[in-house]
Chain A
């Protein structure tokens, strides 16, 4: 099973033509092919079926398959656009494209909004932000009094929720992020700029003459 080269073509569930994926994303054809090497490695780490399940995703992130993590789980769910419980190669490339240094700020802002909108209502609500703060505190074993957490939430929603309706909509988020650009730091992965250097073996399997 898994992803195997066959007559120069790769047999893999959800595999898409690198030329097509490059046309839809910031990546060059060579970069898409290099990402396939990364994808193969992650998707075969637990079950060699050519798809990344949540356990494999967490294992790749933390090198620890048992770790439960709200944030990693949320990222996985956004990568899994077809809601199949697995990430195929096309999902993987299109999602990572958002994290490319050259991808537009607008795309990054929109993705980050969805990241924090845990229940997909189209709004970032106070209880969602509190849930994430508590998860982070649990992850780091850091302790903060509930009054401190509420004070942080008050301050945040005072700044971000400009119409003061208790929730942050996309336009409020866009404005808030423009005043706090450091919030987008997590949306850019410098590794993606050098992906062909990091995974040079793609050259041996390349299906195109030029990239």
Chain B
């Protein structure tokens, strides 16, 4: 596994704020 821990953690959906901009209308 060549990824560091932060690469893996940043895959979390909780850190992806895109959801705030979807289905809001």
Contact = CB atoms under 8 A, between A and B. Distances in A.
Interface string B1-25: 1011111111111111111110111
A84 interface: no
11 contacts: A38-B21, A60-B24, A69-B14, A71-B13, A71-B14, A71-B15, A72-B15, A152-B3, A156-B6, A160-B4, A189-B21
Given A61-B14, A75-B15, A99-B17, A180 B24 contact: no
Contact of B13 (A62, A148, A185, A189): A62
A136 B9 contact: yes
A42 B18 CA distance: 13
A189 B1 contact: no
Contacts of A42: 20, 24
Interface of B: 1, 3-21, 23-25
A53 to B, nearest CB: 14
Nearest to A149: B5
Contacts of B3: 152
Interface residues of A, number: 41
Main DSSP-derived SS at the B contact region: helix
Given A61-B14, A115-B15, A180-B4, A191 B21 contact: yes
Nearest to A192: B21
B20 A156 contact: no
Nearest to A69: B14
B5 A152 contact: yes
A139 B20 contact: no
A139 B13 contact: yes
Contacts of B23: 63
Interface in A35-56: 38, 41-42
Most chain A CB atoms below 10 A, which of B3, B7, B20, B21: B20
